[in-house]
A and B are shown apart, each in its own frame.
Chain A
Amino acid sequence: MKKRLGSVMLACSLAAVTMAGCSGSNSSGGGTTSAPTAADAGATTDATAAGDVKTLKWAIWDINSVFYYQPLVDEFERRNPDIKIEMVDLGSAGTSDYVTNLAIELSGGGTDFDLATMQSVPQYTTLVSKGVLAKLDDFVARDSWELAQYSGLTEQLTIDGALYELPFRSDFWMLYYNPDVFEKQGVAMPTNDMTWAEYDLLAREVADPTPGNEIYGTHYHTWRSCVQCPATLDGQHTVLDGNYDFYQPFYDMVVSQMEDGISRNYAELKTSSLHHSDAFAQGNTAMYYMGSWQIQGFINKIKTGEYTEIPNWRLAKLPHAPGVAAGDTIGTVTGISIVENSSKKDEAWEFVKFMAGPEGAGIIAGTGSFPAVMTDEVIAEIASMDGFPQDAQSKEAMKKGKLYLEMPISPYTTDIETILNEQHDAIMTGAETVESGIKAMNEQVSAILE
């Protein structure tokens, strides 16, 4: 009798607690998207007329090392005295902290955030499929917001006919090089118009693999994108193809360079915590390609005196496929979204427009980052920044051609990423040959795409 009563009570209390946990997650499930109506717009103006200040909570990363947040907020608050922005740092973008933290914060429908920054397209895709970002199409239509200024980016960001973020930053890959090394080795500098074959030759020419006095012709960060993405630049293939034979020439080039001592060893780089910018900054690396966001990093570290070996660093356009114009490169998109759960979507939209529009672009460019709206004025502004390389070639290098996304949008993104990552690691550590690694990619990804 006693035992049974005890069991029943235990079961009841456990059930009660479990229900409490469940109800939280169901409350927002499948919520209807709220499109702004005329009534809403009217209500907002009434509220602002009444003079109450609304505060928007904005999820960002690396608040100490990204310099455009505060100027953007200051200028926006100046123009909109009834809206305040509260910035909340959710972690670093150099690790997976920001992505994980934001996704957890936006789970379960109880979040009080209004704005969220989208660090990358995969993060954007994941959050859209979770249903936590608001559709922007009605806002765009209502205010006739010109999407053409983004040079086709917003088309690539549309999922199932809807847009969930406006891009405010668009970085693309460039070639960073150290002219001092080229001079010392008596080799001609990289130009803005090199094919990958020419790049390979140049790297081999300028390199010196003598142990103890190594000069590295080039440097590859350990991401798979550093080897795989350049292969998509002829526009013939994408990461979602299912057949990756087109990676072969690039893996052959990179692996052979590594084996010949032209670049650092992948296994060493993977286990070492040597950051790619630090590797270049050692002064013994002739060139390497990386995203344009690194420009700001170099400028600042040289200013603070931490980097002393690369005072004359310069930029060039990324090498291109034969037969394709120079300037086509790999791009990433950083965007701003409105949280679906927010009750202040209209105010949030005001900030989104500001940040992703020409005024925001000016402020972002002023701190050395590349805005999504990249006009000639913006390019000139960045080029005139203190610390930016002053040669004409570097300035010209900022003119990009077609942008290929590092990872296009698809429901299979994360699964494909896992497979490609695994095989990349296997090939680069020598656990598999280039052929067997690519074969494994083909097999495993095709299995998913069926």
Chain B
Amino acid sequence: MQTVDGNKYRNILYRVFLYICLLLLTVVMLVPFAWMLSSSLKLNKDIFVFPIRWIPEPIRWQNYIDIWKRIPLLNFLVNTVKITVIVTAFQLLTSSFAAYAFAKREFDFKNQLFLAYIATIAVPWQVYMVPQYIFFRQLGLNDTHLALIILQAFSAFGVFMMRQFYASIPDSLCEAARVDGMNEYKIWAKIMLPLSKPALSTLTIFTFVSTWNDFLGPMIYLRTDTKKTVQLGLRMFISQYAAEYGLIMAASVVALIPVLIIFLSLQKYFVAGIAMSGVKG
């Protein structure tokens, strides 16, 4: 009798603790977002004023109209979506493909190649940015979306991450499939891919976000206005005369939406049970 009550008590305490944590979390995460939202509805000169006015007065919806008129924001969004989708698709395909070999097969130079891959992640892009730009320009790739796609589509990071997830899938599955006569490519497509949905979703989210938010790449490669991306657009609200933070905040809020949609829609792959279906029996 006593033990049951004790357990119940601990459970309730635990749940209370849980929800307090969640509340704290939401506040810490969302207060800056609230400030962003509030600033997007203000005149520039009212944004950086103390004490902070959380509810703007007057509310300036005009910012959300201006951002579409002042810069070709729709055009930029379309460009960014195009580049992001292509890069993400490429990355998912080639990274998971390569990761299978690194995780589940033995071959010559495996460790050296893998180390070379990971080592290059450590080199900051600023260091080889200029030689790379000169090289791309010689290939005629400057001022093209293709350049940006190539820059991000072949990533060592993707290979590394997928390889770690593949490593946690039991070898016995692959062995069983080989015994059944499946060739390696089929094993990758029919067994590894479906089982790694959480990892693939993760890679999708990360690639999407990093391409979406990439600024330096588009800045040095894109020259034609109609080819530019959202981050460059945001930058256009900063000039020698002023930094128009009202517009920057409004555009940032708008630019957030597609990313959050992708994130939410991939949530269903982060539910326990999906990954391991197929292991039993």
Interface bits B42-71 vs A (CB < 8 Å: 1, else 0)? 011101110000000000000000000011
User: With contacts A3-B108, A24-B134, A97-B219 known, is A91 near B240, CB below 8 A?
Assistant: no
Task: List the one stretch of A160-168, A230-238, A291-299 in contact with chain B.
Answer: A291-299
A410: interface (CB < 8 Å):
no
- From B131, B219, B223, residue with most partner A Cβ within 10 Å: B223
Interface bits A49-88 vs B (CB < 8 Å: 1, else 0)? 0000000000001101110000000000000000000001
Are A107 and B48 closer than 8 Å at their CB atoms?
Answer: no
> Which residues between 258 and 279 of chain A lie within 8 Å of chain B, taking CB atoms?
272-275, 277-278
Per a CB cutoff under 8 Å, which of B134, B239, B240, B245 touches A108?
Answer: B134
Are A92 and B219 closer than 8 Å at their CB atoms?
Answer: no
Per a CB cutoff under 8 Å, which of B70, B224, B240 touches A94?
Answer: B240
A104: interface (CB < 8 Å):
yes
User: With contacts A88-B223, A104-B133 known, is A24 near B138, CB below 8 A?
Assistant: yes
B272: interface (CB < 8 Å):
no
A6: interface (CB < 8 Å):
yes
Chain A hits for B236, CB < 8 A:
64, 92
- Closest chain B residue to A65, Cβ basis: B239
| Docked pose: A105 CA to B70 CA in angstroms | 26
Chain B hits for A281, CB < 8 A:
45
Chain B: minimal CB distance from A399 (Å): 24
Interface bits B233-246 vs A (CB < 8 Å: 1, else 0)? 00110111111010
A89: interface (CB < 8 Å):
yes
Chain A: minimal CB distance from B101 (Å): 15
Chain A hits for B49, CB < 8 A:
282
| Docked pose: A411 CA to B133 CA in angstroms | 27
Chain A hits for B130, CB < 8 A:
104, 107-108
Are A2 and B241 closer than 8 Å at their CB atoms?
Answer: no
User: With contacts A24-B134, A91-B219, A101-B220 known, is A275 near B235, CB below 8 A?
Assistant: no
Are B240 and A65 closer than 8 Å at their CB atoms?
Answer: yes
Chain A hits for B108, CB < 8 A:
2-3, 6
Are B135 and A24 closer than 8 Å at their CB atoms?
Answer: yes
Chain A hits for B219, CB < 8 A:
91, 97, 101
Per a CB cutoff under 8 Å, which of A6, A92, A110 touches B109?
Answer: A6
Chain B hits for A306, CB < 8 A:
43-45
Chain B hits for A293, CB < 8 A:
240-241
> Which residues between 11 and 37 of chain A lie within 8 Å of chain B, taking CB atoms?
20-21, 24-25
User: With contacts A107-B130, A282-B45 known, is A92 near B138, CB below 8 A?
Assistant: no
| Docked pose: A300 CA to B45 CA in angstroms | 15
Chain B: minimal CB distance from A340 (Å): 16
- From A6, A274, A282, residue with most partner B Cβ within 10 Å: A274
Chain B: minimal CB distance from A234 (Å): 29
Chain B hits for A2, CB < 8 A:
108
Are B131 and A21 closer than 8 Å at their CB atoms?
Answer: yes
A95: interface (CB < 8 Å):
yes
| Docked pose: A167 CA to B262 CA in angstroms | 51
B184: interface (CB < 8 Å):
no
Are A273 and B242 closer than 8 Å at their CB atoms?
Answer: no
User: With contacts A20-B135, A88-B223, A95-B235 known, is A65 near B241, CB below 8 A?
Assistant: yes
Are A278 and B240 closer than 8 Å at their CB atoms?
Answer: no
How many residues of A are in contact with the other chain, CB < 8 A? 45
- Closest chain B residue to A63, Cβ basis: B225
Are A92 and B240 closer than 8 Å at their CB atoms?
Answer: yes
Chain A: minimal CB distance from B96 (Å): 24
B190: interface (CB < 8 Å):
no
B137: interface (CB < 8 Å):
yes
User: With contacts A97-B235, A278-B44, A307-B45 known, is A108 near B220, CB below 8 A?
Assistant: no
A93: interface (CB < 8 Å):
yes
Chain B hits for A301, CB < 8 A:
242
Chain B: minimal CB distance from A127 (Å): 15
Chain B: minimal CB distance from A434 (Å): 27
Per a CB cutoff under 8 Å, which of B48, B131, B239 touches A92?
Answer: B239
- From B133, B138, B240, residue with most partner A Cβ within 10 Å: B240
Are A273 and B239 closer than 8 Å at their CB atoms?
Answer: no
Per a CB cutoff under 8 Å, which of B45, B239, B242 touches A64?
Answer: B239
Chain B hits for A90, CB < 8 A:
223
Are B241 and A294 closer than 8 Å at their CB atoms?
Answer: yes
| Docked pose: A3 CA to B111 CA in angstroms | 13
Chain B: minimal CB distance from A84 (Å): 16
Chain A: minimal CB distance from B162 (Å): 23
Chain A hits for B132, CB < 8 A:
21
Chain B hits for A24, CB < 8 A:
134-135, 137-138
> Which residues between 286 and 340 of chain A lie within 8 Å of chain B, taking CB atoms?
293-294, 296-297, 300-301, 306-307
| Docked pose: A387 CA to B41 CA in angstroms | 27
| Docked pose: A212 CA to B63 CA in angstroms | 29
Chain A hits for B133, CB < 8 A:
104, 107-108
| Docked pose: A90 CA to B220 CA in angstroms | 8
- From A66, A92, A272, residue with most partner B Cβ within 10 Å: A92
- Closest chain B residue to A280, Cβ basis: B45
Per a CB cutoff under 8 Å, which of A6, A92, A104, A273 touches B235?
Answer: A92
Chain A: minimal CB distance from B234 (Å): 11
User: With contacts A275-B243, A307-B45 known, is A94 near B238, CB below 8 A?
Assistant: yes
Chain B: minimal CB distance from A229 (Å): 18
Per a CB cutoff under 8 Å, which of A6, A66, A94 touches B243?
Answer: A94
Chain A: minimal CB distance from B1 (Å): 60
Interface bits B241-264 vs A (CB < 8 Å: 1, else 0)? 111010000000000000000000
Chain A hits for B138, CB < 8 A:
20, 24, 110
Are A273 and B48 closer than 8 Å at their CB atoms?
Answer: yes
Give 24 A-B contacts (CB < 8 Å), ordered by A residue. Answer: A6-B108, A21-B131, A21-B132, A24-B135, A24-B137, A24-B138, A61-B240, A64-B239, A88-B223, A91-B219, A91-B235, A94-B241, A95-B235, A104-B129, A104-B133, A105-B220, A107-B134, A108-B130, A272-B48, A277-B241, A278-B242, A293-B241, A296-B241, A300-B241
Top 10 A-B residue pairs of the complex, sorted by shortest distance between their CB atoms: A108-B134, A297-B241, A274-B48, A278-B45, A65-B239, A93-B240, A62-B239, A24-B134, A94-B240, A110-B137
Known pairs A91-B219, A94-B242, A277-B242 / 10 extra A-B pairs, C-beta < 8 Å: A24-B138, A65-B239, A88-B224, A91-B235, A108-B134, A273-B47, A273-B243, A273-B245, A275-B242, A278-B242
The residues of B with any CB-CB pair to A shorter than 8 Å are 43-45, 47-49, 70-71, 108-109, 129-135, 137-138, 219-220, 223-225, 235-236, 238-243, 245
